[in-house]
């Protein structure tokens, strides 16, 4: 929540609030999927259906991909000295196209 509050109402306001908020939707959905999975009496003794397992895998993978991609973008934009020069040169151009 700190990140959302800071980049929506802080000193460095995001240029596109809609895209910024859409990036954070998986962070709201994924905990709900975990709660649903743990709701049964013996949550890990019960197999999920193929469709449910696919949804959990997809949302989890999307959440992690967004987290690592936008964390890397943050480092490239605000703290590029922390990254090795080879990594910075490799990721700077592709990350500049992200919203």
Q: What would the pLDDT profile of 34-68 be if each residue is shown by its tens digit?
A: 887 788 788 778 787 889 889 888 888 888 888 78
User: Model-level pTM?
Assistant: 0.59
Average pLDDT, whole number, for the chain? 78
Residue 17: its pLDDT value, please? 67
More confident residue, 14 or 58: 58
Q: What is the DSSP letter of 49?
A: P
Return the SS3 of 43: coil
**Interior CA angle at 60 toward 43 and 87, to 5°?**
145
Please report the pLDDT score of residue 63 as a whole number.
Answer: 81
Cβ-count burial of 84 within 10 angstroms (0-12 exposed, 13-18 middle, 19+ buried)?
Answer: exposed
Identify the pLDDT of residue 15. 66
Residue 19 and residue 98: Cα distance in Å, rounded?
A: 10
């Amino acid at each position: 929540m700190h990140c959302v509050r800071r980049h929506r109402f802080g000193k460095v306001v995001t240029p596109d609030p809609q895209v910024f908020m859409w990036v954070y939707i998986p962070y709201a959905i994924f905990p709900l999927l975990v709660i649903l999975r743990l709701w049964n009496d013996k949550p890990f003794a019960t197999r999920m259906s193929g469709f449910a397992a696919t949804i959990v895998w997809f949302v989890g993978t999307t959440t992690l991909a967004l987290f690592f991609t936008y964390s890397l973008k943050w480092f490239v934009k605000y703290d590029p000295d922390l990254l090795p020069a080879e990594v910075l040169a490799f990721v700077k151009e592709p990350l500049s196209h992200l919203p």
